[in-house]
Structure 1
Amino acid sequence: MTDPRPGRLLFHREGESAWNMAVDQAIAESVSANAPSGSAPTYTLRFYTWAAPTLSLGYFQSSADASPRFDIAERVRRSTGGGAILHHHELTYSLTVPSSAGEHGARTDLYRRVHAAIINALHRHGIDARPYYLNKTPAAKTLAASDDPFLCFQRRTDEDLIVSGYKVLGSAQRRFKRSILQHGSLLLRASEYASELPGLVDLTPISLDPETLWKRISEEFAALSGIAFESDVLTATEWTRADEIVASRFGRSEWWTRR
């Protein structure tokens, strides 16, 4: 029997919007740079929350489409696609894994493995979550084929997780030269700025806090992936690079208005 592969496990509480996005990118760049030598742990799994309500646009969305009702929130543009997300009462995760140079396309296996871990973690608390592709109806297919709503959690893709008919988890990926970043949002309860989007606390009689959830999810993902995760912190290089990325990209108004 081979030894489990090493992995890093990080948790950052109440990060600023630009910093949250910059850290994901800094980790992806670090994993990419170290992938050829094998000097970095294979997987980096990070969980985080937000310091203030934040509207994040998908990479390809127009900033002109943002409703004035979100003007009270912080704002940032993600490096991944998809619809806008109102990050507030949620647990966000990112998973970064090395890849071979020249690979293309989405890694569906990563979506399904992470989402399976989240399904198993929720099941441990008596919450029935299922992938959207198992919940499709003719009406749902018609909705999915229509114009995409502005907010991500009003859209549906096959791998999204559904509880009581509502989307509670969505994820997206971005490729770097030798790594893949996948991150996603798990809604815990509705935000007063987007009350039409209920979370787990609204849909079930169960109250879950971010710390309990990320520990459960990391345990389930370790069991499914064979990764031996160890609690860790950012390296000095990753800290420095994240600050640079905030200044050059996510913290700049030009990045928000680029589309």
Structure 2
Amino acid sequence: MKSCEKKWLVIFSGQDSPAMNMALDSIMWERARKNPDIAILRFYAWVPPAVSLGAGQLPEKLVNVDFCQHHGIPIVRRVTGGSAIFHDIEITYSFSSVNDEVFPGPSASYEKICEAISTGVKNLGVQLSFRGLSTGREPSFTSRDCFSLSSRYDLVAGGRKFVGSAQRKDKNSFLQHGSILLNIRKHFWQGIFIQRPDFEKISCLSDFVMVPLIDVILEQLAAGFEEYFGTKFTPDGFTRQEIDGARKLAPSFLLSCQKV
């Protein structure tokens, strides 16, 4: 299916609990899996701020669980891989579609979505590029946070990682989601991660421009997808049935210190 033949949906779902955010991503993926003529882009935020771990990671190997509990920082597990991320002052995106002519496979899909993100961030005044030469993909098991790691598909600004993304695929579809940092509260990052983050490798929007209103950021990011893929989004949302399903699913993503 070509880009012009797909129905492109965008969901601005606002703030939600960490476990609910993970559940809604899974529900969104399920919808895309069952409807091969659609592609879904979602933007959201985390309340309270939280740590998410890749599918195979152990919290005690990466994060200071006592620090997280003391500061009310939940720890959740993603369905995707990658390493630990502290979701704080950021925009999180997620995207799901079946594999087709537009998204023919994991690497091509990942690269295209990152290109669309890059186009949107350029609209905000920051030029991103792929890191390029590196050792390849992030290791599956690591004691480093996502933004201190390096892979060839990283989106970087001034050589420093700006967007952290991860993807999971099944036989016919995929889910990709990631963090676009707006600002960094270093004292939290230092307290959360067992291995000290390498801030020389990390960048955020406020390093380059005055951070606009959230609505402006979301508008420009969505416009980046429209420009890159040559399409137009239809605003959408979750049905009551989908929300109820996500609420039932949410506890399965929670690892510690949060009420769903």
TM-score for the superposition, normalised by structure 2: 0.80
Q: Deviations over 1:121-147 (max 9, x none)?
A: 2223331211111xx4xxx769x89x8
In 2: Cα distance, 1:95 partner to 1:201 partner: 21
Question: Are the equivalent residues in 2 in contact too, given 1:222–1:228 (CA < 8 A)?
Answer: yes
| Residue pairs, 1:83-162, within 5 angstroms | 83-99=83-99, 107-133=106-132, 136=133, 148-162=142-156
Deviation of 1:85 (Å): 0.3
| One-letter amino acid of the counterpart of residue 54, structure 1 | A
Q: Please state if 1:203 is matched with 2:207.
A: yes
> Out of 220, 243, 248, which is 1:244 matched to?
248
| One-letter amino acid of the counterpart of residue 32, structure 2 | V
Task: From the superposition, tell whether residues 116 and 63 of structure 1 become closer, same or farther in structure 2 (CA, over 3 Å).
Answer: same
**Deviates most, 18-27 or 91-100:** 91-100
Question: Are the equivalent residues in 2 in contact too, given 1:174–1:182 (CA < 8 A)?
Answer: yes
Task: From the superposition, tell whether residues 163 and 69 of structure 1 become closer, same or farther in structure 2 (CA, over 3 Å).
Answer: farther
TM-score for the superposition, normalised by structure 1: 0.81
Unaligned runs of 5+ in 1: 254-259
| One-letter amino acid of the counterpart of residue 16, structure 1 | S
State the partner residue of 1:61: 57
| One-letter amino acid of the counterpart of residue 184, structure 1 | G
Deviation of 1:48 (Å): 0.4
Deviation of 1:177 (Å): 4.9
In 2: Cα distance, 1:210 partner to 1:199 partner: 18
Task: From the superposition, tell whether residues 226 and 4 of structure 1 become closer, same or farther in structure 2 (CA, over 3 Å).
Answer: farther
Matched position secondary structure for 2:237:
coil
Task: From the superposition, tell whether residues 235 and 63 of structure 1 become closer, same or farther in structure 2 (CA, over 3 Å).
Answer: same
State the partner residue of 1:194: 189
In 1: Cα distance, 2:155 partner to 2:99 partner: 26
Unaligned runs of 5+ in 2: 191-196
| One-letter amino acid of the counterpart of residue 26, structure 1 | I
In 2: Cα distance, 1:200 partner to 1:208 partner: 13
Q: Deviations over 1:34-92 (max 9, x none)?
A: 33xx5xxx100000011111011111111221224434211111111111000000100
In 2: Cα distance, 1:227 partner to 1:179 partner: 20
Q: Please state if 1:22 is matched with 2:13.
A: no
Question: Are the equivalent residues in 2 in contact too, given 1:7–1:43 (CA < 8 A)?
Answer: yes
State the partner residue of 2:234: 230
Question: Are the equivalent residues in 2 in contact too, given 1:7–1:230 (CA < 8 A)?
Answer: yes
**Deviates most, 167-176 or 2-11:** 2-11
| One-letter amino acid of the counterpart of residue 188, structure 2 | Y
Question: Are the equivalent residues in 2 in contact too, given 1:171–1:184 (CA < 8 A)?
Answer: yes
State the partner residue of 1:12: 13
Q: Percent identity?
A: 27
| One-letter amino acid of the counterpart of residue 23, structure 1 | L
Matched position secondary structure for 2:184:
coil
Q: CA RMSD for the aligned pairs?
A: 2.7
Q: Please state if 1:216 is matched with 2:214.
A: no
Deviation of 1:4 (Å): 5.2
In 2: Cα distance, 1:2 partner to 1:188 partner: 30
